[in-house]
Amino acid sequence: MRKDKIIAAALCICLSGTGCATAGYNLWESKATRRSNYVESHPGLSFKTKKRISEGTIWIGMTKEQMIASRGRPKDINRTVGSFGIHEQWCYGKYGGYGDEERFYVYFKNGILTSWQD
């Protein structure tokens, strides 16, 4: 019974938004708010980069932080570490074909987007 109370308390903290924000992003904010907050907090970005993030665009050469700002957090991350560096596959969208969210994958090498698959 005590374990249930601890889990319930942790869930309340998380749902209040105080324990679920990581890397400066609140999991409950809207896409537009997330994008706007990122652009406003990075005044040194070029006009082109700000426009791309504001529109939710992805491009070769963007960082993982820019990807999260532009499209949100992935549903899953598959990571490969080797002598060639670190490769990550980020999986976006709904699984099973339901919902209006598109399913696509982006690929990073050492933190920089190198390709995507839709």
The full set of domain ranges for the chain reads 29-117
The pLDDT score that the predictor gives to residue 27 is 59
The pLDDT score that the predictor gives to residue 100 is 58
* CA-only gyration radius of the chain, Å: 17
Top pLDDT among 76 and 11 is at 76
Cα distance between residue 51 and residue 85, in whole Å:
30
Considering the entire predicted model, what is its pTM? Answer: 0.71
Top pLDDT among 36 and 28 is at 36
Cα distance between residue 70 and residue 41, in whole Å:
14
| Overall fold of domain 29-117 | Beta-lactamase Inhibitory Protein; Chain:B, domain 1 (3.30.1450)
What is the band of 101 on the pLDDT scale with cuts at 50, 70, 90? low
Per-residue pLDDT tens over the stretch 75-85: 999 999 999 89
